[in-house]
Amino acid sequence: MNTDPASTAPAAAMTAAPGTGLTVLYRGPLASCDYDCPYCPFAKRRDSGEQLRADRAALERFTAWAAAQEGERLSVLFTPWGEGLVRSWYRRAVVELSRLPHVGRVAVQTNLSCRTDWLAGADREKAALWCTYHPGQTPYERFLGRCRELSDLGVRFSVGVVGLEAHLEEARRLRAALPSEVYLWVNAAEGHTYTDEEADLWTALDPLFPYSRHPHASAGLPCRTGESVISVDGDGTVRRCHFVRAELGNLYDGSYRRSLGPRGCPLEVCDCHIGYVHLESLPLYDVFAGGVLERIPARPVRAPAPNGLAGGAPHRRPLPLVTG
């Protein structure tokens, strides 16, 4: 049974997309990374020159499509299987899309191994980074230095870690060093269950960790994907999200448009933030208002009240709160 209090929250947030308009989660064929995290199921391939050229062509086709959508408010999140920002075409895509008037936000998931100076050319109100710190793959000081560069540039970013025990001390150290306005998130490690005591350690760092701790029961629940949020691959195949394989059509021939509409989730659970953040039964569009794609809360978050005031049944951990 899913005892995650977050998954049983009332349908508090029926607000619209990150901006009004269409949100696109783009994942092209790139599948290589400059890191080799032991817990990563992706990026175990070394892309050949031909594969990299195909990825670049696919991304450039996508950005050309996005640039042409002048009548629509677009938000874009790049979610590559590997690391995109070590490739010039991803950096260029972020800069170019950020400068388009009809693009409200362009964000990218990254390990932050790349330089940051290129972001000076972006519209820094609109470009944003979802950064993951991978202890063991990069020196702590180098990662922290990159975060400082982003702050100095005025770039919007969140920072996170995978909630493995071996990461706890590094995560605490990072939390203590980052400015309080930088949100540090913690993702529950895949296939890992947390005792309440373990979960409390992570919740002390990320008050929103209870949302990540358990997969969210999602079967039949309304989810904005397939309506105002879509997933697009390198061929332009449109799906509602990265996790549901059914196709809605193609981006480039416009056939996806007639498939857009409200629909319940066909899967039993949704366990990834880039998916469940769009569930209408969760309040996360309110929690992350203005920063849904880059995972930045609208207001500082604080830990749940220890007496469970914000919770439901007494055995359940209380919901995280957002300070007013």
By CB under 6 A, residue 190 contacts ligand SF4: no
By CB under 6 A, residue 43 contacts ligand SF4: yes
Minimum CB separation from ligand SF4 for residue 252, in Å? 22
The backbone torsions φ and ψ at residue 24, rounded to the nearest 5 degrees and listed phi first, read: -120, 125
Rounded-to-integer distance, Cα 215 and Cα 265, Å: 14
Tell me, residue by residue from 278 to 307, as one string, x for binding to ligand SF4 by CB under 6 A and - for no binding: xx----------------------------
Tell me, residue by residue from 89 to 108, as one string, x for binding to ligand SF4 by CB under 6 A and - for no binding: --------------------
- Of residues 223 through 282, those in contact with ligand SF4 by CB under 6 A are 223, 225, 240-241, 243-244, 265, 267, 270, 275-276, 278-279
By CB under 6 A, residue 203 contacts ligand SF4: no
Stretch that binds ligand SF4, among 3-11, 29-37, 165-173, 253-261 (CB under 6 A): 29-37
By CB under 6 A, residue 126 contacts ligand SF4: no
Does residue 90 come out as left (phi exceeding 0), alpha (psi in the -120 to 50 range) or beta? alpha
Minimum CB separation from ligand SF4 for residue 160, in Å? 11
How far from each other are the two terminal CA atoms of the chain, in whole angstroms?
Answer: 32
By CB under 6 A, residue 42 contacts ligand SF4: yes
Of 39 and 299, nearer to ligand SF4 (C-beta) is: 39
Of 89 and 96, nearer to ligand SF4 (C-beta) is: 89
- State the Cα angle at 217 between 219 and 296, rounded to 5°: 115
Q: Contact with ligand SF4 (CB under 6 A): which of 83, 233, 280, 294? A: 83
By CB under 6 A, residue 218 contacts ligand SF4: yes
Cα of 143 vs its chain's centroid, Å: 19
Of 63 and 218, nearer to ligand SF4 (C-beta) is: 218
Where are the extended beta strands (E) located within 196-268?
216-217, 222-223, 229-233, 237-239, 247-250, 263-264
Rounded-to-integer distance, Cα 131 and Cα 128, Å: 9
Q: Contact with ligand SF4 (CB under 6 A): which of 75, 79, 111, 116? A: 111
Minimum CB separation from ligand SF4 for residue 196, in Å? 25
Closest C-alpha among 81, 79, 83 to residue 34? 83
Q: Are 81 and 43 in contact (CB under 8 A)?
A: yes
Minimum CB separation from ligand SF4 for residue 207, in Å? 22
Rounded-to-integer distance, Cα 75 and Cα 122, Å: 15
Q: Are 57 and 264 in contact (CB under 8 A)?
A: no
Instruction: List Cβ neighbours of 209 (8 Å cut-off, separation of 6 or more).
Output: 163, 185, 186, 188, 199, 202, 203, 320
Helix (H, G, I), strand (E, B) or coil at 98: helix
Of 182 and 265, nearer to ligand SF4 (C-beta) is: 265
By CB under 6 A, residue 7 contacts ligand SF4: no
Of 43 and 184, nearer to ligand SF4 (C-beta) is: 43
Q: Are 57 and 107 in contact (CB under 8 A)?
A: no
Q: Which residues bind ligand SF4 (CB under 6 A)?
A: 33, 35-37, 40, 42-43, 82-83, 111, 134, 218, 223, 225, 240-241, 243-244, 265, 267, 270, 275-276, 278-279
